[in-house]
Each structure stands twice: as structure tokens, then as C-alpha cells.
Homo-oligomer: A and B are copies of this chain.
Amino acid sequence: MIKNEILIKWGAVIKSYKKNEIIFSEGEHALFYFQILEGNVRMFNSNEDGKELTHGYFSDGQSFGEPPLFIDADYPASALCILDSKILKINKQLFFKNLAQNPEYQNEIIKILASRILNKTKSSKDIINQTPKHRVLSFLYSQKKKDTFEKIIIPFTRQEIANFIGLRVETVIRVCSQLNKEKIIEIKDHKIYF
């Protein structure tokens, strides 16, 4: 991550977005580097009949939508604020100019991109073990940053989980109640603990 102050020094401006406001849409050309000051952003695709696929949620300090910027391409997905958010926005030319002058930040970018590839690779592995149970579990597991023994609450609705792993709500629900029976997760008050 590049420090907020640095970005501002480079010429970034703070833009405020309302909840449910679109930041950019699939197919648009990438012209800015975005980094979240505060708030929450969701990247996703949707098709004609309203089915959606979530690529990720981003929050304070995280950048998003960089890959197409670096290779002069269009956004493969859309970005939407799921909360009122303040986002740092800096145009491509300015961003690249300053990045070139400060190679230490290039390294930072490399790390961000590398870890994103790693995540995507890991999650695509689930295609071979396509059972819904496996898919849900590996989603849950990915939510645990640290290898803690304590159960953590999963801050997603079943619909959101479904959109993440490409299943239907009903399937996620059925898998969850089975996992609950098997004591792998715990459901209290409809909330999932893992």
C-alpha cells in the first residue's frame, strides 16, 4: 500500500461516494488509480439475468482496479461502494510519473499484484473439487486471516457468499446447515461462526 499522504503529494484528490454509487463499470477504460481512504468497495460482474459474481471486497487502505491501468486495458468488472466512502483518485499520467521516480513503491505494487494472483489461483483450484461443501469451506477458510483457533463471525450474508463462489443461495444455505450439523461451523441467530 502507498501511504495516503504520499498519494496526495503526488496529486491525488479525495472523492466522496454514496452507498451504492458506482465507481467504474465493466468495459470502461482504466484511467485512474484508486485507493480507499475510508469505506467499502465491491468488485463484481453481473450478467443479463441479474446473476452476479463477486471478485472481492476492499476497504481502508486498499487499492483496487489497478491491473488494467498498467497495461492500458478496460475494466473486466465493475466497482461499487457498499458504504459511503472516501476514495483517493489520481490520474494515470500523474501516477506513473511519480511511480517511476520512486521505485520503492513499484516494489509495493508488485507485492500487491502477486498476492492477488496467489489468491485467485488458490480459489480457482476449487474447480476440481467442485462440491458445494468444499467451495463454501474454502471460502470460509479464506476469511480467516490468522490461524487462530477461535471461531470468527463471517460478516457475509448467504447471498453474498453465493455470489462469491458462484452457487445459489439455497445451495449455500443447505451446505451451511449441514456444516452446522457436522459441528464444522456454528450458527447462532442465523449468523455463521467458523
Interface residues of A (CB under 8 A from B): 45-47, 51-53, 55, 66-71, 73, 76-77, 100, 103, 106-107, 109-111, 113-118, 120-125, 127-130, 166
Whole-angstrom distance from the CB of A167 to the nearest CB of chain B? 9
Copies of this chain, count: 2
CB-based contact B118/A116 at 8 Å: no
CB-based contact B120/A113 at 8 Å: no
Partner of A68, one of B76, B77, B110, B114: B114
Partner of A47, one of B52, B66, B124, B129: B129
CB-based contact A118/B76 at 8 Å: yes
Partner of A122, one of B76, B125, B128: B76
**C-alpha spacing A49/B106, complex, angstroms:** 42
Please name all residues of chain B whose beta carbon is closer than 8 Å to the beta carbon of A76 when the two chains form the complex: 118, 121-122, 125
Of all chain B residues, the one with the shortest Cβ separation from A107 is: B106
Please name all residues of chain B whose beta carbon is closer than 8 Å to the beta carbon of A53 when the two chains form the complex: 124-125, 127-128
Other 18 A-B pairs with CB < 8 A, given A66-B114, A113-B117 = A45-B125, A46-B128, A52-B128, A53-B125, A55-B124, A67-B118, A67-B121, A69-B114, A70-B111, A73-B118, A76-B122, A106-B107, A109-B110, A110-B110, A110-B113, A120-B120, A123-B124, A124-B124
CB-based contact B121/A47 at 8 Å: no
Partner of A77, one of B77, B110, B121: B121
CB-based contact B124/A120 at 8 Å: yes
**C-alpha spacing A116/B124, complex, angstroms:** 14
**C-alpha spacing A46/B129, complex, angstroms:** 10
